[in-house]
Chain A
Amino acid sequence: MPRTRREANGRRRPYGARSAPYGFLAPAVVLFALFFALPVGYALWLSLHKVDVEGLGLGRNARTEVWAGLSNYTAALTDAELGQGALRVLGYGAIVVPVMLGLALLFALLLDTERVRARAFSRLTIFLPYAIPGVVAALLWGFLYLPDVSPFHHVLGRLGLPRPDLLDGGPLFLSLANIAVWGGTGFNMIVIYTSLRSIPAEVYEAAKLDGATPLQIALRIKIPMVVPSLVLTFFFSVIATLQVFSEPTTLKPLTNGISTTWSPLMKVYNDAFVAGNVHAASATAVVLAAATFALSFALLRASNSRAKQQGSR
């Protein structure tokens, strides 16, 4: 809590100590105002306006921005394409988030197992995809999926098995999900592993004295203790999933299975920069942001009440 004015004055401080934090924070505040607050305000403004075209839309004053009320929003919310995109992304997220976090938790627990070998090597290698841009990751996997190049197709062909098109229909979801899982598991693993390492040693000693097996320790002690970091990773994974853009955009040139409005974010891009309707695009973006915020707050509340139950700090 900030102390009261009297306390602050009562304490002798050299000149500058009281104004210093404001000076130190000035760059961040200015940048925030210019590149976060102003754009958000502008997006809201845009979403509530539309372009009125007079006549053929030619000439200087033929196009004017007029108040649109909530019409952009009703259009966005009733847009079938956006709804389908949202459903696709939810389906995609339903694969990505559990698989990625499940693997991250599994690898973190394995790294934390006693007597495990190649610990440093595995940790660094599983983390490695974090350093590879989403576009490059999608590109690499895209080639591994491409029928003429794919080793999977090669092997399946040799075995005389049917070769599914990994870039269309149902398999496409798995293919895209695999790219996200590949790219995100390592980072989440590190977050969970870090919180595993901060569990006090006495807890394990007590459990061992009680005759608990390593598996029981993992299930009954380790996993419950890392729930807060699981909530955190879940939270960030869901947000990232809702905003999937670069991977499907990168795979698009390789397949007809991905439309320009495959994910909601791709639709926003398409509306704004291909169709040139920034007002509709802004309304869609605001709807997506609102959905993200609602989800975030729900998750944060759930995790906070959980933390209170555990009585940590």
Chain B
Amino acid sequence: MSTPTLPARRRRAAPAAGTTPGTSQGPPPRRRAALLPTAALLLGALYCLLPVAWVLVASTKSGTELFSTFTFLPGSGLGDNLADLDAYRDGIYWRWMGNSALYAGLGAVLSTMVSAVSGYALAIYRFRGREAVFNVLLAGVLMPPVILAIPQYLLMAKADMTDSYLSVLLPLILSPYGVYLGRIYAQAAVPMELVEAGRMDGAGEWRIFLRVGVPMMSPGLVTIFLFQFVAIWNNFLLPYIMLSDDTKFPMTVGLFTLLAQGSSTPALYTLVITGALLAIVPLIALFLVVQRFWSLDLLSGAVKS
């Protein structure tokens, strides 16, 4: 586990004063860019962008252009492709997008709430069984989805809940990784003095959590929300198993079924490609927008002051 070092030292923030014996005094000479490392990083970035660039181009092609023109040559069919996708089975694609947004949005909100309150409790209070509860919850991280999926399906079937929105939503609310992150953030960000002060003022524990805990943990909570949002948005196995009614599919399962049909009718390929492009746009947009509000580093559980 990467233990958080608090306060983490940022070495670039404080360059040693130029008084070290044996080094030249005064301002350092204009520094050259490290060309080789930069080039290697850009190469990595190029590799990561390749499929995204391809899907951008491919979605502009008509069905015949897709198979006849060079792959990175733009085509003329973007408008038609979008219209076709929109018309496909009365716009079921938008329904899949809406479902994904619902599963991921609502699921991530609930999951963040549960992670926040559990992490806070595990960090702030000392009580009998604390470590036992934490370890058991954390063991859930190791629990392979495969061992859970079949019995979850059968139990949902017994409760007559398969093929419902709840069957996909409920099992994803508790995230062991979210609880783990919640505890780390609460430990690092919520000072015990403030909790004690709240008690002195006669505030109840729940009120202290809401007024002191939640605001101080908020950068961490944004990270947990995003992590959960991505995890549910990207989830395939659970909805694939639980759902048979395609109006309840999230986008991943919808696109998969479209591709599976496309293998017999290649005309559907353009729909799949256009659908794939539209499917990655919201998450990329989300990442670019929230970039300012969260730190990628928080995702690994490292907390900085």
A residues contacting B by CB (< 8 A) are 2-3, 13-14, 16-18, 20-25, 27-29, 31-32, 34-36, 38-40, 42-43, 46, 103, 106-107, 110-111, 113-119, 121-137, 139-144, 148-151, 154, 182, 185-187, 190-191, 193-195, 197-201, 204-205, 209, 228-229, 232, 239, 242-243, 245-246, 249-250, 252-254, 265, 268-269, 272-273, 278, 281-282, 285-286, 288-289, 292-293, 296, 312-313
Within 8 A of A (CB), among B269-305: 269, 272-273, 276, 279-280, 283-284, 286-287, 291, 296-297, 299-300, 302
- Can you sample 14 A-B contacts with CB below 8 Å? A14-B204, A39-B152, A118-B42, A126-B41, A136-B279, A137-B51, A139-B272, A143-B269, A194-B296, A197-B302, A198-B8, A246-B252, A249-B236, A285-B144
Give Cα A305–Cα B271 distance, bound, in whole angstroms: 53
Q: Would you call B287 and A194 a contact (CB within 8 A)? A: no
Q: Would you call A36 and B236 a contact (CB within 8 A)? A: no
Say yes or no for B55: interface residue by CB 8 A criterion: yes
Q: Closest 5 interchain pairs by CB? A: A201-B11, A24-B121, A20-B205, A39-B151, A31-B174
Q: Would you call B118 and A28 a contact (CB within 8 A)? A: yes
Count B-side interface residues using an 8 Å CB cutoff.
109
Q: Would you call A28 and B179 a contact (CB within 8 A)? A: yes
Contacts of B33 in A (CB 8 A): 115-117
A217 to chain B, nearest CB (A): 12
A290 to chain B, nearest CB (A): 9
A201 to chain B, nearest CB (A): 3
Q: Would you call B58 and A289 a contact (CB within 8 A)? A: no
Chain A residue at smallest Cβ distance from B22: A209
Give Cα A288–Cα B146 distance, bound, in whole angstroms: 8
Say yes or no for B230: interface residue by CB 8 A criterion: yes
B283 to chain A, nearest CB (A): 4
Give Cα A215–Cα B299 distance, bound, in whole angstroms: 28
Q: Would you call B49 and A125 a contact (CB within 8 A)? A: yes
Supposing A140-B54, A182-B51, A195-B2 touch, asked if A200 and B173 sit within 8 A by C-beta, the answer is no
Grouping DSSP codes into helix (H, G, I), strand (E, B) and loop, the A interface class, with mixed when no group exceeds half, is helix
Chain B residue at smallest Cβ distance from A123: B296
Say yes or no for B262: interface residue by CB 8 A criterion: yes
A92 to chain B, nearest CB (A): 16
A111-B41, A132-B234 known; 9 new pairs, CB 8 Å cut-off, are A20-B125, A42-B155, A136-B255, A136-B280, A139-B272, A194-B297, A201-B9, A273-B241, A313-B3
A116's partner among B41, B50, B66 (CB-CB below 8 A) is B41
Chain B residue at smallest Cβ distance from A214: B34
Give Cα A110–Cα B41 distance, bound, in whole angstroms: 7
Q: Residues 9-39 of chain B: 1 if any A CB is under 8 Å from the residue's CB, otherwise 0?
A: 1110010100010000000000111100110
Say yes or no for B267: interface residue by CB 8 A criterion: no
Contacts of B280 in A (CB 8 A): 131-132, 136
Q: Would you call B16 and A205 a contact (CB within 8 A)? A: yes
B120 to chain A, nearest CB (A): 7
A27 to chain B, nearest CB (A): 5
Within 8 A of A (CB), among B51-84: 51-52, 54-55, 58, 66-67, 70-72
A115 to chain B, nearest CB (A): 4
B298 to chain A, nearest CB (A): 9
Q: Would you call A40 and B136 a contact (CB within 8 A)? A: no
Q: Would you call B48 and A126 a contact (CB within 8 A)? A: yes
Q: Would you call A36 and B300 a contact (CB within 8 A)? A: no
Q: Would you call B287 and A28 a contact (CB within 8 A)? A: no
Contacts of A24 in B (CB 8 A): 117-118, 120-121, 125, 205, 209
Q: Would you call B54 and A151 a contact (CB within 8 A)? A: yes
Q: Would you call A115 and B32 a contact (CB within 8 A)? A: yes
Q: Would you call A250 and B256 a contact (CB within 8 A)? A: yes
Supposing A35-B171, A116-B34, A243-B144 touch, asked if A128 and B263 sit within 8 A by C-beta, the answer is no
Say yes or no for B87: interface residue by CB 8 A criterion: no
Give Cα A278–Cα B145 distance, bound, in whole angstroms: 15
Supposing A128-B52, A154-B71, A190-B299 touch, asked if A134 and B146 sit within 8 A by C-beta, the answer is no
Say yes or no for B243: interface residue by CB 8 A criterion: no
Contacts of A242 in B (CB 8 A): 144
Q: Would you call A122 and B41 a contact (CB within 8 A)? A: yes
Q: Would you call A278 and B284 a contact (CB within 8 A)? A: no
A42 to chain B, nearest CB (A): 4
